[in-house]
Amino acid sequence: MDSLWRSIRPYLSRTVRYLHISYLETKSEYEDTYLGILWIPFSTLIFTGMLALVFRHSDALPPSSFFLYVLSGFVLWNFISDSIGGSTNIIQKRLEFALHNNLSLGGLFLKILVDRLFEFGINLSVLVLAMLFLSPSNFGANILLFPPFLLLISIMSLSVSYLVNLVTILYPDSGNLTKTAMRFLFFASPVFWLEESKAGLLHLLATINPVSYFLSLAREVFGVEPLSAQVWMIGGSITLASAICAGLAFRYSQHFVRNIQ
C-alpha cells in the first residue's frame, strides 16, 4: 500500500498544483467583476435557460426534464468546444509558459487539460445542484459510471487537442476554419434538440456525429437518458482511435515541434 501511494503521490501532487494554477488564472480573468469566478456557472445557466425556453419540446418532455437535458448537454459541449476550438494555438502561444514552469510538451497539454477540467467541474456543480432541486430521483447507480466517463472525455480531450494544434501548425488557415466549424457543430449536435425526435437529416447527424455519443454518455451518467451499452462501446472506440492517432502524431512530430521551440 505504501509503495502504491509513493508511486501515485507525485501525480496527485502535480494535479493539485495544476488545479491551483487553473484557479488563480481563472480568478484573474474575472477580477474586475463583482461576481468573479461565479460568472462561469451564471452564464451557463442563462444560456441554458434561453435554449430550454426557445427550443422546448412540450410534447416530448416536461419543462424541468427538458431543462436538465439541455443543461447536461451544454455543460459537456463547453468542454468539447474548449478541447477543439481552444486548441488551435497552444504550442504557438503557451511555449513561454511551459519553459518558465519547466513543462515538457506533454506536460503543457496536460496542464491545459486540467484547466478545462477545472471549468468543467464548476459547470458540473451547476448540473448536480439543478438535478437535486428538479429531479433528485435521477441519481442512481448510473452515477458510478462517472469515473470511466471522466477518463474517456479526458483522453479524448487530450488527443483531439494535440491533433488540432498540430494541424493548425502545418496549415495555419485551419485555425480559423476550426473555430468556424465549431459554430456549425453546435447546431449539428443534440445539445438542445432531442435525439428521440430525430428523422431524416437529424437522424443522419446524430448517427455520424461523434459529439452525439459523448453527449449521450453524459446524460446517461446523470440519469437524464437510459443506459445504452452501444453508446458506451462507440464512445470508447472513438476515444481509443483518437488516442492512437494522437500518440502516433506526438511520436513523429516531437522533432518538428522542438524546431518550433
Q: Compute the Cα dihedral for 183, 184, 187, 190 and give only its sign.
A: negative
Contact 202, 193 (CB under 8 A): yes
- The lowest-confidence range among 63-72, 185-194, 225-234 is 185-194
- For 213, phi and psi rounded to 5 degrees? -70, -35
Nearest to 87 by CA among 120, 107, 114, 113: 113
Whether the per-residue pLDDT at 200 is higher than 90: the answer is no
| 117-134: pLDDT as tens digits | 999 999 999 999 999 998
| 207-260: pLDDT as tens digits | 788 999 999 999 999 988 899 999 999 999 999 999 999 999 988 887 766 555
Give mean pLDDT, residues 147-167: 95
Question: Cα 122–40–63 angle (5° rounding)?
Answer: 85
d(CA 73, CA 64): 14
- The H helix count followed by the E strand count for the chain is 10, 0
Whether the per-residue pLDDT at 158 is higher than 80: the answer is yes
d(CA 171, CA 178): 11
Give mean pLDDT, residues 139-163: 93
Q: Which residue has the cell 448517427?
A: 207
Whether the per-residue pLDDT at 201 is higher than 70: the answer is no
* DSSP 3-state of 140: coil
Distant-in-sequence contacts of 222-230, Cβ < 8 A, 24+ apart = 222/68, 222/72, 222/127, 222/128, 222/131, 222/138, 222/139, 222/142, 222/143, 223/131, 223/135, 223/137, 223/138, 223/139, 223/140, 223/142, 223/143, 224/65, 224/68, 224/69, 224/72, 224/138, 227/142, 227/145
Whether the per-residue pLDDT at 50 is higher than 80: the answer is yes
Question: How close are the terminal C-alpha atoms of the chain, in Å?
Answer: 41
- pTM comes to 0.88
Query: What percent of the chain lies above the pLDDT cut of 70?
Result: 89
- The lowest-confidence range among 82-86, 152-156, 195-199, 227-231 is 195-199
pLDDT band at 261 (very low <50, low <70, confident <90, very high): low
Q: Rounded to 5, what percent of the chain is helix, strand, coil? A: 80, 0, 20
* DSSP 3-state of 135: coil
**DSSP H or E stretch at residue 181:** helix 173-188
pLDDT band at 113 (very low <50, low <70, confident <90, very high): very high
Nearest to 122 by CA among 35, 23, 211: 23
Q: Domain spans of the chain?
A: 2-260
Output the pLDDT for position 5.
65
Averaged pLDDT of the chain: 85
Output the pLDDT for position 215.
94
pLDDT band at 18 (very low <50, low <70, confident <90, very high): confident
- The lowest-confidence range among 61-65, 196-200, 254-258 is 196-200
